[in-house]
Structure 1
Amino acid sequence: MRVIAGELKGRQLKAVPGKTTRPTTDKVKEAVFQVIGPFFQGGAVMDLFAGSGSLGIEAISRGMDFCVFVDKHPKAIHTIHENVKGMEIEQQTEVFRADAFRAIHAAAKRELQFDLILLDPPYKKVDYEKFLNEIVKLQLMKQDGIIYCEHDMSEKLPLKHDDFLLLKQENYGGTVGVTIYQMN
């Protein structure tokens, strides 16, 4: 696993030990960032269900100013800290061990808003529409903000939403689905 582009390009990332996480492949990461970036002129990102932190670190490498990483598993939190330290981006990050739903509520209490939210939970364990609705209700997205959802292809994410425009819905390798929304 590595950073694909930007300031940290080519740097190696540690994976979370064990089989509880499934890292986003380089192929998927590159395709996704071509849609949502590929590079950014600053901004804030929230990486929910962060695992190793690979997606959030990629966003920082490509120009985001700041990332909030959230995961509830201790091994994932340890790995995120190792990766952030190894990339020397500690000043640009916050790492929280928390349930993702609780974390978005905590972010709302702090009146944080994001240009990009990365939603890559364990497959078939999360109600994406519930998360989308809660993100809108809590006003976590900036104008034109983007939400990236990675999911099992058997999970059908909404093609229409009152508050989001569907930018892309793609199948990668027959099993991985990616749906990208932008705030209306």
Structure 2
Amino acid sequence: MRIISGEYGGRKLKAVPGMATRPTTDKVKESMFNIIGPYFDGGKSLDLFAGSGGLSIEAVSRGIGHATLIDRQYQAIKTINDNIAITKEIDKFTVYKQDADKAIGLLKGQESFDLVFLDPPYKTQEIIDTIQKLDSSALLNSQALIICETDQHAKLPDDIPGFSLFRRQNYGITQVTIYQKEN
């Protein structure tokens, strides 16, 4: 795994030890950022299931101003912090060891985001519920993009109230579904 492009491009990232996480492949990550960016002029991102932190670090490398990373596993948090240290700009990142639902409650009223990454264990219902919780907690800026990474069996809907389908793309067994918050 590596940071593909931007300020930190080419730097290697560590993977979370064990089988509890599945990192986004470089191919999928590069395609994902080509769709949503590929570069940003500030803004804030949120990753509720951060794993190694690779998606958020890539976003900051490409111009996102600040990234908030959430994961509930100790090994993931340790790996995220190690990977953030590679950037030498730790002030651009906030990391919480927290369950995603509790993190939404913690962030409510304090933050709002332009870009959200959702790559939970492959469970369809949680993604839809999580998007609705983010929206009802006022954590999403107008036109915010929500990038969902699932397997092809997840069958995420085209329509979610308050959101439009921005793009859906398959990469082998991985499917990336991107929603955009409507005004």
**So what's the TM-score if we normalise by structure 1?**
0.96
CA contact (8 A) 1:60 1:66 kept: yes
Q: Please name the residue that 2:181 is paired with.
A: 183
Q: Please name the residue that 1:29 is paired with.
A: 29
Q: Please name the residue that 2:146 is paired with.
A: 147
Identity, % of aligned pairs?
Answer: 45
CA contact (8 A) 1:124 1:152 kept: no
**Residue 116 (structure 1) aligned with residue 115 (structure 2):** yes
CA contact (8 A) 1:167 1:180 kept: yes
Cα distance in 2 for partners of 1:119, 1:69 equals 11
CA contact (8 A) 2:124 2:156 kept: no
**Residue 3 (structure 1) aligned with residue 7 (structure 2):** no
Q: Please name the residue that 2:158 is paired with.
A: 159
CA RMSD of aligned residues (A): 1.1
Cα distance in 1 for partners of 2:37, 2:124 equals 28
Cα distance in 1 for partners of 2:80, 2:10 equals 17
Q: Please name the residue that 2:89 is paired with.
A: 89
Tell me by how many angstroms 1:19 deviates: 1.1
CA contact (8 A) 2:109 2:138 kept: no
CA contact (8 A) 2:124 2:154 kept: no
Deviations 1:120-172 (A, max 9, x none): 11123752111111111011111111000001110111101221110111111
Cα distance in 2 for partners of 1:126, 1:5 equals 33
Is the partner of 1:2 in helix, strand or coil?
coil
Is the partner of 1:127 in helix, strand or coil?
helix
Query: Structure 1 161/125 Cα, relative in aligned 2: closer, same or farther at 3 Å?
Result: closer
Gaps of 5+ in 1: none
Q: Please name the residue that 1:131 is paired with.
A: 130
Cα distance in 2 for partners of 1:30, 1:2 equals 11
Q: Which runs of 4+ in 1 moved over 4 A?
A: none
Is the partner of 1:49 in helix, strand or coil?
coil
CA contact (8 A) 1:47 1:69 kept: yes
Letter in 1 for 2:133: E
Q: Please name the residue that 2:167 is paired with.
A: 168
Tell me by how many angstroms 1:89 deviates: 2.0
Q: Please name the residue that 1:47 is paired with.
A: 47
Tell me by how many angstroms 1:109 deviates: 3.7
Gaps of 5+ in 2: none
The residue correspondences of 1:54-65 to structure 2 (distance < 5 A) are: 54-65=54-65
**So what's the TM-score if we normalise by structure 2?**
0.96
